[in-house]
Amino acid sequence: VTTTKSTVKVAAPIALTTVKDSLSYALGVDIASSLKQGGFDLNTAALTEALTKHLADQPILIDADKTSSIIANAVIEMRAKPGRDFLTENKKKATVKETPEGLQYEVLVEGEGAYPMASDEVVVHYKGSLIDGQQFDSSYDRNEPLTLNLDRVIEGWKLGIPLMRIGSKYKFYVPYNLAYGERATGSIPAFSTLVFEVELLGVKKSSEI
């Protein structure tokens, strides 16, 4: 029985013998560093082909005017994924309910008072944190309840607080699109899903304000 050995060609290492060589390699490193820092999950073969063909003015598979939207959508998906994954697991808990808009909540204490309306002013105690448990705000720490108009708060609170009776304490899990969206706010990063414990202490009707 005879066997034949297959030969595998190994690409020779690139020699940086000219300024052009060094510049090309340095630009490659710079592009790769930026992509790694961005956290993208990439198909390097597709990336290499796009670079090669576009630099050579050869036809490419995606119109150049569509690349920005593809990249922007990928960034949104990547930044929003941790919060989305958290909410997917969280709603499996028997105690967690979800509104049609995607706000999740738990009833910690059910009060017996009146419900507020979206146009009312309310008095609340609250604690806010990121999904990793890092607290970013707390009226409890300041020992000072917050009085606010429900038409001037994030969408998650506009949806959630009217579900509560006076005396209730709820825990809200607010997806980024019902919180501060795609912008960073103080110590809250962009695309953050937020967790709030909210205690409804009082309601002042809009007619009384």
Selected catalytic residue, list 176, 180, 188, 191: 180
136 counts as catalytic = yes
Query: Residue 193 has which token pair?
Result: 């899903």
Selected catalytic residue, list 60, 115, 131, 136: 136
Q: Which residue has the tokens 């038409």?
A: 151
Identify whether the C-beta of residue 120 lies closer than 8 Å to the C-beta of residue 204: yes
Identify whether the C-beta of residue 173 lies closer than 8 Å to the C-beta of residue 103: yes
172 counts as catalytic = no
Selected catalytic residue, list 76, 115, 131, 137: 137
Residue 186 to residue 206: CA distance in whole angstroms: 30
First-to-last CA distance in the chain? 97
191 counts as catalytic = no
85 counts as catalytic = no
196 counts as catalytic = yes
Selected catalytic residue, list 60, 76, 131, 154: 154
154 counts as catalytic = yes
Selected catalytic residue, list 126, 172, 173, 191: 126
**Residues noted as catalytic:** 126, 136-137, 154, 180, 196
